[in-house]
Amino acid sequence: MLVLAVESESTIIENKTSYGLVIASILIILWTGSLFTFLGLNLAKVPIGFIPLAVIWQTFLYTGLFITAHDAMHGTVFRQNKKINHGIGTLAVWLYGFLSYKELLKKHWFHHHHPASELDPDYHDGTKNNGISWYLHFMKKYWSWGQFNGRTVAFILAIYVLHISMTNLFLFWIIPPFLSSIQLFYFGTFLPHREPKDGYVRPHCAQTISLPTFWSFVTCYHFGYHEEHHEYPNVPWWKLPSVYQSRKSFGRQRAEGNLNFGSRLNSGIPNFHNSSFII
């Protein structure tokens, strides 16, 4: 299999800068500011149409938190410092829902090394592969008493100590992560990893959702470019569109028979195909 050439110049620039850390910080700051703003809203004084838009917005930011943690698992939030990188990931999943970053990291490692198998914690139970049953099985694999206890304590503190409206809590703190989990499952697991009619023939048992860049971002932070992610796991989410477009271009050139193999193989481009997790 030929290895896709990802521009070495952009990779070098990324390694010398902190784009990943800046983007992760922006998402965390947006989520925090948005949550506190919405929790303090007097819902009686805002237009009724604003509320569902606010829920959708907060859901999108919750998904951003999880995608940030996911990138941290691959070491792409801050390549220069593993402790900071994994610290950001730990913070992101804790804010998302009191999740254990170490446990998620271990399970995600299994997902990448054994996709669509009984060893894959993201896969269905082997028999019930419809969306609803698969989602429930998926959530069961990631549920823990630690999450439940953490959210229960936080809920009690919010109601009785901070005196936050219960309605606001449900709308902006309970509903969004639930909707986000559906979003992440549907666009990041179900669609990319469900078995095609002819069986699994693609590498990593994954297929890409071919959406334009804008809609790819809106649906799940480009997580729909899933074959690209599995093929190049050390590429951050915000660079996946470039990889997707490069693969499309490469496919066209190969079909037209005008690909210059010599220049590709000797271009000094880093090989992401065999890249491993940074644990």
- Given a cut of 70, whether residue 169 has pLDDT beyond it is yes
Mean per-residue pLDDT, 243-257: 68
- Given a cut of 60, whether residue 265 has pLDDT beyond it is no
The first and second tokens of residue 44, run together, are 């009686």
- Burial of 29 (C-beta count, 10 Å sphere; 0-12/13-18/19+): exposed
Query: In the structure, what pLDDT confidence band is assigned to residue 138 with cuts at 50, 70 and 90?
Result: confident
Judge whether 169 and 118 are in contact, CB under 8 Å: no
Domain assignment present for 119: yes
Q: Lowest mean pLDDT: which of 4-13, 36-45, 144-153?
A: 4-13
Query: In the structure, what pLDDT confidence band is assigned to residue 14 with cuts at 50, 70 and 90?
Result: low
| Arithmetic mean of pLDDT over the chain | 84
Element (H, E) at 104: helix 101-113
- Given a cut of 50, whether residue 236 has pLDDT beyond it is yes
Domain assignment present for 252: no
pLDDT of residue 275: 38
- Beta strands of the chain (E only): which ranges? none
Mean per-residue pLDDT, 132-153: 91
Domain assignment present for 207: no
pLDDT of residue 247: 82
Q: Lowest mean pLDDT: which of 1-5, 108-112, 152-156?
A: 1-5
pLDDT of residue 8: 45
Domain assignment present for 56: yes
The first and second tokens of residue 120, run together, are 């894959």
pLDDT of residue 273: 36
Interatomic CA distance for residues 73 and 87, integer angstroms: 10
Query: Residues near 118 by Cβ (< 8 Å), separated by ≥ 6?
Result: 126
Query: Residues near 229 by Cβ (< 8 Å), separated by ≥ 6?
Result: 206, 223, 235, 237, 240
Enter the pTM of the model. Answer: 0.84
Domain assignment present for 179: yes
Residue written as token pair 């509903």: 175
pLDDT of residue 251: 57
Judge whether 234 and 275 are in contact, CB under 8 Å: yes
pLDDT of residue 272: 34
Mean per-residue pLDDT, 173-195: 93
Which domain does 181 fall in, by range? Answer: 8-187
Query: Domain tally for the chain?
Result: 1
Percent of the chain with pLDDT over 70: 81
Domain assignment present for 163: yes
Query: In the structure, what pLDDT confidence band is assigned to residue 123 with cuts at 50, 70 and 90?
Result: confident
Mean per-residue pLDDT, 159-183: 97
